[in-house]
Structure 1
Amino acid sequence: MLNYVIRRVLYAIPILVGVNLITFALFFVVNSPDDMARMQLGVKYVTPEAIDKWKAERGYDKPLVFNAAADGVARLTQTIFFEKSVAMFAFDFGRADDGRDIAHEIRMRMLPSLAIALPVFLLGLATHIVFALTMVLFRATYVDFWGVVLCVALMSVSSLFYIIGGQFLVSKLWHLVPISGYGDGPDAVRFLILPVVIGVLSGAGASTRWYRTLFLEEMGRDYVRTARAKGLPERLVLFRHVLGNAMIPILTGTVVVIPLLFLGSLIAESFFGIPGLGSYTIDAINSQDFAVVRAMVFLGSLLYIVGLILTDVSYTLVDPRVRLE
């Protein structure tokens, strides 16, 4: 198992380096520091002195990848590539345009993002799988038919409708929970109830239909017919055998969610005023804070690669054939 994990980590390193190089090229080659300065200062009537001052304040006045004016190792270290790109591997993200340390902001905002994303992920996974299994158990009946109709209806509605409608109905009319904001400690629970419920509900349609398709496909396998021939009840066949053999695609589908557990939901955090990484990213994009955007792109890539490694490891736990390979 240890050798398996080490191989996966070694495979992931070149991918992360490649993503970092592409990000550097997009931010500093395609969109040069001079272009960043003009976007921040205004396209019209920007003097070269103002551009040079803006670049010097943010460390963008150095050469991109090679500093011919320096000596020795400094020719490589005193460059934009080393200070702004290579330093990210040591989680040195630098400072935002407002002067605050980006790494500190990420640490402070990660917990609010997890507070909303983790319950949505766990409750949604359990709820959607149980709902799909129930539809498969009563397949070709009115339960299955109206379940599919409900899923299609939920899929057809934008997530913004759930957020705005939930805020209007639950918070403004019924006054059950705050409409937005965030608190510390146990007080944060009342601010998270509505975002979590909306997060689970808005993803129920697509997820449930996908799980239902997986389970229906497994129902036609030979091992299901064998289990039925042995006299096992349909409920036991479904919840033990079918669910167990469908775990591989389910685990694969959860990979894309892992980065969101840490990075938060861009839309939900913005609408509910939760000070997480999602709202932090949106604010950075709106204010054109390139340092924060670069840090969030790198962090998202790293978390996605970690998710792929965890998925490969989880395969070995649910599928003996992977362990044999």
Structure 2
Amino acid sequence: MRQYITRRLLQMIPVLIGVSFLIFMIFTFAPGDAVSSLVAAHPNMSAVKIAQLRHLYHLDEPKLVQYGNWLVGFLHGDLGQSVKLNQPVSHILNTYIWNSFYLQLVAFIISTIIAIPIGVISATKQYSFFDSAFTVFALIGISLPSFFMGLLLMKWFAVDMRIFPVSGMTSAGMNYKGFKLLVDIAQHMFLPCLVITLINVSSLMRYVRMSMLEVIKQDYIRTARSKGLKEKVVIYKHALRNGMIPVVTILGMSIGTLFSGAVITEQIFAWPGIGKLTVTSINDRDYPVLMGINMIMVVFTLLGNLLADVCYALVDPRIKLK
């Protein structure tokens, strides 16, 4: 196991270098840059000042030289300087990424706890009223756009009933501390977390259902039933473990989303996370911040894939990682 993990980590190095090159070139050859965005905001800026800014951010150097400087900085933990915010990108990401992580983690845990039991019961009671009801629920959750769902919940719970705040992460002007701060954050987190949870539950429960339907039709399940084992033992001890193998892939791939944020949801609820920062950086053409965000997503996606592969051996003893 240790050798496998070490080998996979070493294999990530050329993948990260290749992906970083693609990301850098895509943003480099995109129309305009951060300096042109500043010039548009300050049309009276002199040509000398523009040249100084382009030299400061190495925009007057060849593309490969720019990439080499950026890659060396990335390997040392330096993701560059935000032109718009005039702060190190690593500091900006460290400020915003944890807000997204807390929101996504809560939604991930809740959706996993809800979706797996519903998917198992739907599979064991195929075509029943329970299965049909949650099939309709899943189709609605998958079909509704997140922005429409967010605005709908905002109108019901924030505007009409005034139960939860409309937007933000904390109440403006209230310097809460300790337990009161946690309660305030939880109240602001409820609506965006509910949107993400509904979307995640709708898709994950369908994966669990389809996986369980394939497993419970296998010969070894019929053999277990013929031995007189209780149905709960057959389903939750024999079928569920094998049925979770495809689901582990989905959950492993979700690790990257814990740090990438929910762009639309965070924008609607003004949640100060990495998703809202992405939209702001796109509007400002702050490419160093965007490249840093994308590299963070790539790193955690690769780690999520590795975690999913390792979990295979834990879920299915037939799989041996060598």
Check whether the contact 2:81–2:88 (CA below 8 A) recurs between aligned residues: yes
Residue number in structure 2 paired with 1:140: 127
Residue number in structure 1 paired with 2:260: 263
CA distance in 1, matches of 2:24, 2:98: 28
Is 2:85 aligned against 1:87? Answer: no
- Kindly state the Cα deviation for residue 45 of structure 1 after the two structures are TM-superposed: 11
Taking a change above 3 Å as real, the CA distance of residues 82 and 101 of structure 1, as seen in their structure-2 partners, is same
- Kindly state the Cα deviation for residue 38 of structure 1 after the two structures are TM-superposed: 4.2
* Equivalent of residue 156 in structure 2, options 169, 174, 180: 169
Residue number in structure 2 paired with 1:206: 203
- Kindly state the Cα deviation for residue 99 of structure 1 after the two structures are TM-superposed: 0.7
- The range that moved more, 85-94 or 244-253, is 85-94
Is 2:120 aligned against 1:122? Answer: no
Q: Which amino acid counterpart does residue 17 of structure 2 have in structure 1?
A: V
CA distance in 2, matches of 1:223, 1:5: 32
CA distance in 2, matches of 1:114, 1:2: 28
* SS at 1:246 equivalent: helix
Residue number in structure 1 paired with 2:242: 245
Which stretches of structure 1, 4 residues or more, deviate above 6 A after TM superposition? 44-48
Q: Which amino acid counterpart does residue 316 of structure 2 have in structure 1?
A: D
Identity of aligned residues (%): 27
- Kindly state the Cα deviation for residue 268 of structure 1 after the two structures are TM-superposed: 1.5
CA distance in 1, matches of 2:147, 2:27: 31
* SS at 1:323 equivalent: coil
CA distance in 1, matches of 2:147, 2:321: 46
- Kindly state the Cα deviation for residue 47 of structure 1 after the two structures are TM-superposed: 8.4
Check whether the contact 2:34–2:284 (CA below 8 A) recurs between aligned residues: no
Check whether the contact 2:266–2:275 (CA below 8 A) recurs between aligned residues: yes
Residues 42-73 of structure 1, C-alpha deviation per residue, up to 9 Å, x if partnerless? 5x9998656523312323233433xxxxxxxx
* SS at 2:285 equivalent: coil
Q: Which amino acid counterpart does residue 96 of structure 1 have in structure 2?
A: S
- Kindly state the Cα deviation for residue 231 of structure 1 after the two structures are TM-superposed: 1.2
Q: TM-score, normalised by structure 2?
A: 0.88
Taking a change above 3 Å as real, the CA distance of residues 132 and 35 of structure 1, as seen in their structure-2 partners, is closer
CA distance in 2, matches of 1:241, 1:46: 70
Check whether the contact 2:4–2:321 (CA below 8 A) recurs between aligned residues: no
Residues 264-317 of structure 1, C-alpha deviation per residue, up to 9 Å, x if partnerless? 111111111111111111110111101101111111111111111111221222
Which structure would you say has the larger RCO, counting Cα contacts within 8 Å and 6 or more residues apart?
2
Check whether the contact 1:24–1:85 (CA below 8 A) recurs between aligned residues: no
- Kindly state the Cα deviation for residue 114 of structure 1 after the two structures are TM-superposed: 1.4
Q: Which amino acid counterpart does residue 15 of structure 1 have in structure 2?
A: V
Residue number in structure 2 paired with 1:313: 310
CA distance in 2, matches of 1:319, 1:274: 39
- Kindly state the Cα deviation for residue 204 of structure 1 after the two structures are TM-superposed: 2.7
CA distance in 2, matches of 1:246, 1:264: 29
- Kindly state the Cα deviation for residue 40 of structure 1 after the two structures are TM-superposed: 5.1
Residue number in structure 2 paired with 1:181: 168
CA distance in 1, matches of 2:266, 2:143: 22
